Amino acid sequence: MKLDTYLNLPYQITVGHEECTDGTSCYMARVTDLPGCEYQGDSREEALDGIEEVKAAFLTAMLENGVQPPLPAPRFQGVATSMSETSTCWIADVKREAEVTAKQEAYPQVPHPHNPQFAFT
């Protein structure tokens, strides 16, 4: 594939508020599927603007060196209003699955989607 194709793929970008190496507060944008592809900005908007340039340079360097960039991983198609909401939803889903699994182990006769012995009606 060509650079333009990769640039138009739906790579997930995350932005988080972090403490910079110099001790100041900053925003770090990362392309999840391209490890090491990140940009630090003083504001969320600056981080998001900068990561697009870094992503293009990152993909260009990979292609020029004969390395095929990874394709974006499939993502849940939903809307989150903030990073904390996304994280909270994910944590809640993991916790709920763990609770269901624990109950299934304690009460094996209870139907569970991961137990093929039982069918849901």
Task: Enumerate domains of the chain plus CATH numbers.
Answer: 1-75 (3.30.160.250), 77-121 (no CATH)
Q: How many CB atoms lie within 10 A of CB 64?
A: 9
* Phi-psi sector, 56: left (phi>0), alpha (psi -120 to 50), beta: alpha
The alpha carbon dihedral of 52, 53, 57, 58 has a sign of negative
Q: Dump pLDDT digits (tens) for 63-121.
A: 999 999 999 988 765 555 554 444 444 444 444 555 545 544 544 444 444 444 444 43
Is the pTM here over 0.85, yes or no? Answer: no
| CA separation for the pair 72, 69 (Å, rounded) | 9
Q: Dump pLDDT digits (tens) for 88-97.
A: 444 444 445 5
DSSP states along 7-56: HTS---EEEEEEE-TTS-EEEEEEETTSTT-EEEESSHHHHHHHHHHHHH
Q: Dump pLDDT digits (tens) for 12-26.
A: 999 999 988 788 899
